[in-house]
Chain A
Amino acid sequence: MAKPVDALAVKATVQAKKTRRKFFKNQSQLMWMSLPVLLYVMVFSYYPIWGWTMAFQNYRPAKTFAQQEWVGLKQFKFLFTDDGFLRVLRNTIGMSAINMVLGFVTAIIFAILLNEVKNKLFKRSIQTISYLPHFLSWIIVTGIVASSLSVDGGIVNEVLMKLGIINEPILWLSEPKYFWGIVGASHVWKEVGWNAIIYLAAITSIDPSLYEAAEIDGANRYHKMWYITLPGIKSIVIILLIMNLGWILEAGFEVQYLLGNGVVVDWSETIDIFVLKYGLKQGNYSLATAAGIFKTVVSITLIYAANTIAKRFGEERLI
């Protein structure tokens, strides 16, 4: 009786070995395939974190790491007492908030209105046109914004004057009070069609029978929009809104850098521009690194919080 059992056991171990070998053979190919990108990410995304040590030093490029003077939190203390930094922080949050609110509201309205267009060809044409600015660079977009707002022949001033809203051209880009609005409007112009993609998809996935049932109950178009379409996209709106809160310090750099000028500098500079100016232009690497760390830490904290909140809303799809 013993023999057949042994034979079976041997057969089983042999098979197990075979499958394990086969398993590792497969796994090794997968490992080799993921290695290049893993190394790449380690070098380009993780290794630079080592550079954060600069924020706790009085970094001088000529010195070696051992020779650097360590100053503790001095750079951070300086940041939070520096009027210049507090100003760019205000600008960053202000412009970010404007971009976010304007971006959400316009994209949702656009998606809902476009969804109401019945003619297929017209709808598709509008949609294609609406994506166009997304594919233009900020260089081109700011160029377009600057020439549209110019005092000699800019279309905005011309139209406003023809409509009798203003009597003489406004120097839009030289007025600090308009700057945040111009940045917000530029973002809307560039991204409204693109941002609407997600909402349009969400709207098309709403069960059509809901609309039919509502129609039988005597609902009109506005009732349907308000009670079916909006609730139908509510969850995606909440997720995106929460996610975007995490990017509150990412007001961007390009628009402000390209549209800003000496007159509006107090209202146009963001943290990124601050880092660029102090770090690469003036060589105060330690201070600029500290500002960068602040930005990253705040972002990660906010995203973590956003993720927790999203989970509480019953949405598991973040991160």
Chain B
Amino acid sequence: MRKRTVQMEPVVFGTVNAIIMLLLAVVTLYPFLNTLAVSFNAGLDTIRGGIYVWPRIWTLQNYKAVFITGTVFNAFYISIARTIIATLLSLFLTTMLAYTVSRKEYVFRKPITIIIVMTMYFNAGLIPYYFLIKDLHLLNNFLVYVVPGLISAFNMIVIRTYIGTLSESLIESAKVDGAGDFRIFMQVILPLCQPVLATVALFVAVGQWNSWFDTFLFASSKQELSTLQYELMKLLSSAMNSNSNPALQNGGDPNAAKAMVTPLSIRAAITIVASVPILIVYPFLQKYFVVGMQLGSVKE
């Protein structure tokens, strides 16, 4: 009898554990699948309830309504532009700095590291920051998306730690060949850093793509600068704060919109549009960002 329980135990544990893990996966995925189903279901039909993970009446009307309105289309464009520009600039500048502070012979290595790392632990606060942005004339300016978030101390540390793991002899031999530090950085370090750059690019790009607070604070009075997340936020807050159904803002074809589309279904469609680009990319970068997170946690 005892022997049997000993043999049964791993099986029972394994099964229970697998069920817990499956439940977790369901809880994680369900809200997303539900949103996906709602976004493809006819708007008025959704109100009747009972849409779970599969649409009852298929339609592309919600997506059409989303993209017919120029506002969302423009916001999509702004989101993409800010993500690409800021990610490239940030990667280049952060890696360049990380390279300099990875050089052991560099006299300012320590002070610069301290100056940068300190920024992780304090900030002047929202009000002084707001005045800075205002004084730099970045209010209602596209650059407010790109410039303020360029350097992150955490990303710098991740890249520096990675550079530290590269073979010193590569840099030495390039030096013997007469290459200066900038050339070594461009031709030796940057190509070798690809795995860590993939990680940091993902971090920066996700931060950029998901950002709405900067639009809200610094660019909310200029509709041309609105981002996808900010448009979604406006829809969400109007849906949560009032029970009246907000009419579609300047919706393209009013008849088509009235027939099928509701704020709920529009919201679902924008949610999908705003999340799918990242969700397509991240599984492929998984092995990189797992390592990146570990590099970041080992600071010195």
List residues of chain A with CB within 8 A of the CB of B126.
Answer: 272, 275-276, 279-280, 288, 292
Q: Tell me whether A318 and B127 are in contact (CB under 8 A).
A: no
Q: Is the CB of A41 within 8 A of B297?
A: no
A292 touches which of B50, B124, B211 (Cβ 8 Å): B124
Alpha-carbon gap, A303 to B241, bound state (A): 38
Please name 29 pairs of A and B residues whose Cβ atoms are closer than 8 Å in the assembled complex, sorted by A: A30-B103, A30-B106, A31-B108, A33-B100, A33-B182, A34-B101, A37-B151, A44-B132, A44-B151, A45-B124, A46-B119, A48-B129, A48-B132, A50-B128, A51-B132, A129-B25, A131-B282, A135-B275, A139-B274, A146-B240, A240-B297, A280-B126, A288-B126, A291-B125, A293-B125, A295-B125, A299-B121, A303-B121, A319-B299
Which B residues lie within 8 Å of A261 (CB)?
240-241
Of A27, A31, A122, the contact of B18 (CB 8 Å cutoff): A122
Q: Is A14 part of the binding interface, using a Cβ–Cβ cutoff of 8 Å? A: no
State whether the Cβ of B8 lies closer than 8 Å to any Cβ in chain A.
no
In the complex, chain B residues whose CB is within 8 Å of the CB of A128 = 283, 286
Contacts of A94 in B (CB 8 A): none
Extra A-B contacts (6), CB below 8 Å, given A126-B21, A146-B240: A37-B151, A45-B119, A54-B128, A144-B32, A254-B213, A258-B233
- Asked if A223 lies at the interface with its beta carbon under 8 angstroms from chain B, I say no
Complex Cα distance A144/B294, Å? 30
Query: Contact between B271 and A140 (Cβ–Cβ < 8 Å)?
Result: yes
Closest CB in chain A relative to B34 CB, distance in Å: 7
Q: Return the chain B residue nearest A158 by Cβ.
A: B49
Task: Report the bound CA distance from A299 to B236 in whole Å.
Answer: 32
**A137 and B212 contacting across the interface, CB-CB below 8 Å:** yes
B30 within 8 A of A: yes
Residues of A with C-beta under 8 A to B31: 144, 147-148, 155
Partner of B271 from A43, A143, A201 at Cβ < 8 Å? A143
0/1 string, A292-319, CB within 8 A of B gives 1: 1101100110010000000000001111
Q: Is the CB of B241 within 8 A of A300?
A: no
For chain A, residues 47 to 93, give those with C-beta under 8 angstroms from any C-beta of chain B. Answer: 47-52, 54
CB of B191 within 8 A of chain A?
A: no
List A221-251 residues whose CB lies under 8 Å from chain B.
221, 236, 240, 246
Whether the pair A292, B236 counts as a contact (CB closer than 8 A) is no
With both chains docked as a complex, state the minimum distance between the C-beta of A271 and any C-beta of chain B, in angstroms.
10
The residue among B28, B96, B99 with the most chain A CB atoms within 10 A of its own CB is B28
Contact A140 B275 (CB under 8 A): yes
Closest approach, in angstroms, between the C-beta of B45 and any C-beta of chain A? Answer: 13
Q: How many A-B residue pairs have CB under 8 A?
A: 239
Check: A1 CB closer than 8 A to any chain B CB: no
Main secondary structure of the interface of A (DSSP, over half): helix
B90 to A: closest C-beta gap in Å: 10
B131 interface residue, CB < 8 Å from A?
Answer: yes
- Place the interface of chain A in its size category: 35 or more
Residues of chain B with a CB closer than 8 A to A43's CB:
132
User: Does A117 sit at the interface, judged by CB under 8 A?
Assistant: yes
Distance between B300 CB and nearest chain A CB, rounded to angstroms: 6
Contact of B181 among A33, A49, A220 (CB under 8 A): A33
The reply to whether A137 and B128 form a contact with Cβ atoms under 8 Å apart is: no
Q: Nearest chain A CB to B88's CB is how many angstroms away?
A: 15
B residues in contact with A197, CB < 8 Å = 290, 293-294
List B contacts of A288 (CB < 8 A). Answer: 125-127
Cα–Cα, bound, A144→B239 (Å): 13
Q: Give the residues in chain B near A127, CB-CB below 8 Å.
A: 286
Question: B258-270, CB under 8 A of A: which get 1 and which 0?
Answer: 0000001001000
Of A49, A144, A240, the residue contacting B35 (CB under 8 A) is: A144
* B286 & A143 in contact (Cβ 8 Å cutoff): no
